[in-house]
Structure 1
Amino acid sequence: MKSSDIEHYLRIAKEASVIGGFVLRDYFGRLLSDHVYFKGEKDLVSQADKDSEERIRDYILKNFPDHSVVGEEIGGDFKGDAVWFIDPLDGTKNFVSGFPIFGVSVGLVIEGRPIVGAVYLPYFNSLYYAGEGLGAYKDGKRIYVSKRDTLKRMSVSYGFPSRAKRDINLYWEIFREVFDKVGSMRRPGAAAVDLCFLAEGIFDGLIEFELNPWDVVAGTIVVKEAGGLVKLTKGLTNGTDVIAGSPYIFPYLEEVVKLKLGV
């Protein structure tokens, strides 16, 4: 694929994520109770999610009418070689409660491979993005994963679903093992944002479980282009686990997860 094509896809991903982010900025701190719904016992969705996804979807299809678009709220078909994955509000619970760690994630997969990704953090007005072979950036500045090489000085982000399909005690065992070895662990609560924080060296590693493609497509290419390593245990399918990190910590995290989960 020509670099000019990747740059074109990336421009649309960046613009689409910001368009969705402006919707979230308008809603943040102003959501009414009747704008928040429960998809499940602990699974929230807001009117902001829906409006953001509609705006993003419309913009992508305006530019690429022959592409498929799959979003967290509206869904979509996995048709053709080019599929856009949208998380219009990554971190809905954070957003609803007023915690400013949330974002918009837009990524393109071509022939099963993530090609471009953009993650916009509306509260901070920060845009992370990457294209295959183009490097990873935050607000126009090149970013790289951490070079820390001592576990006790490293920080690991973690996450798991509120309604886990596995025995949740397996996750506690993994987190306890990692917690004993590293300097700190953090759970911001937004996978795409966590991956971007990893890409710029805030976190050294990341382990998050039972995610979906729209959670990870954009963030994983940002991490890879920043020099990090990423493993999706089930590929780009629902329920995939994500192990990511700098070259120093990734083998350790992969070993711990494999030992406990066999994946």
Structure 2
Amino acid sequence: MSSSLDFALRLADAADEITSARFRAQDLKVTRKPDRTPVTDADTATEDAIRALIAERYPDDEIAGEERGGQVGTGRTWLIDPIDGTKNFLRGVPAWATLISLVIDGQPVLGVVSAPALGKRWFAEANEGAYAEDGRKLSVSGVNSLSDAYVSTTDLGSWVEHHSREAYLRLVDACWESRAFGDFWQHCLVAEGVIDIAAEAIVNPWDVAGIGVIVKEAGGRFSDLKGVDTFLGGSALSTNGHLHDAALEKLAR
């Protein structure tokens, strides 16, 4: 484990302390951002704490996050989503996580996903494999036919606005089973080999930079909906690799 991954895991520990303490809190403060998405006091407190720790340890590194902004620059950039699944968090649904990734010269090199309410954590480093919180090495499924595949998305409504509802339903109709586990969780389930395809019509860089590392290190494929291996494409597709091209064909507009 590199010093950067070790540090990222310690950042996740710090985040878990804040988010767990505020989860289902009776005095949770919730506001709306200009795009009408919710933000809680836990989101901002968590990102601020992570930023402070990074600035102390790596003062020359860039930081970009969901709540405080920033851009991916040259050199080292930390990407932070303090609470991925804020709608779940504020409603008391335990499927939410802190996402932390490191990008070096435009290439994601590590990712940590910490979901304390689920008792789960996933992490990976480029060329070093992907692992769960108990040290178990992750591996994608061997399913090689869409008719046997398990597919998930976040919100069907997002496909109407950002891609094509009909295209996503073509994929659903071709698959064995569909659910909406949503956000980070579905991609991590692909890495675990529990489901086979996770597709999202709209994402931000901090949503998927680390997740792409985890999925690929577990033996899968990650891309945007055009098939480009990038965390900057504004959409996301994680698969076990066997099904990637077939899924892209169904999702084509």
TM-score, normalization by structure 1: 0.88
Two-structure CA RMSD over aligned residues (Å): 2.0
CA distance in 1, matches of 2:12, 2:122: 10
Residue 186 (structure 1) aligned with residue 175 (structure 2)? no
Bigger mean CA deviation after superposition, 129-138 or 22-31: 22-31
- Alignment map for 1:1-263 (pairs within 5 Å): 7-32=2-27, 35-40=29-34, 42-139=36-133, 140-160=135-155, 168=161, 170-190=163-183, 192-232=184-224, 233=226, 235-237=230-232, 240-257=234-251, 259-260=252-253
CA distance in 2, matches of 1:158, 1:101: 14
DSSP-derived class of the 2:235 partner: strand
Unaligned 5+ segments in structure 1 are none
The Cα shift of 1:160 comes to 4.9
Cα gap change, 1:185 to 1:31, in 2 (>3 Å): farther
Structure 1's consecutive aligned runs of 4 or more residues displaced over 6 angstroms after TM superposition are none
Cα gap change, 1:10 to 1:182, in 2 (>3 Å): same
The Cα shift of 1:40 comes to 4.1
Cα gap change, 1:28 to 1:133, in 2 (>3 Å): same
The Cα shift of 1:26 comes to 0.3
TM-score, normalization by structure 2: 0.91
Cα deviation, 1:89-109, whole Å, max 9, x if unaligned, reads: 000001111111100000000
CA distance in 1, matches of 2:71, 2:8: 19
DSSP-derived class of the 1:221 partner: helix
The Cα shift of 1:196 comes to 1.2
The Cα shift of 1:61 comes to 1.9
CA distance in 2, matches of 1:57, 1:45: 17
Contact 1:160 1:210 in 2 (8 A): no
Contact 1:119 1:193 in 2 (8 A): no
Contact 1:193 1:219 in 2 (8 A): no
Cα deviation, 1:216-250, whole Å, max 9, x if unaligned, reads: 0111100000000011357343x611112012211
CA distance in 1, matches of 2:26, 2:223: 36
State the identity as a percent. 29
The Cα shift of 1:188 comes to 2.2
Q: How many residues align?
A: 249
Contact 1:205 1:246 in 2 (8 A): yes
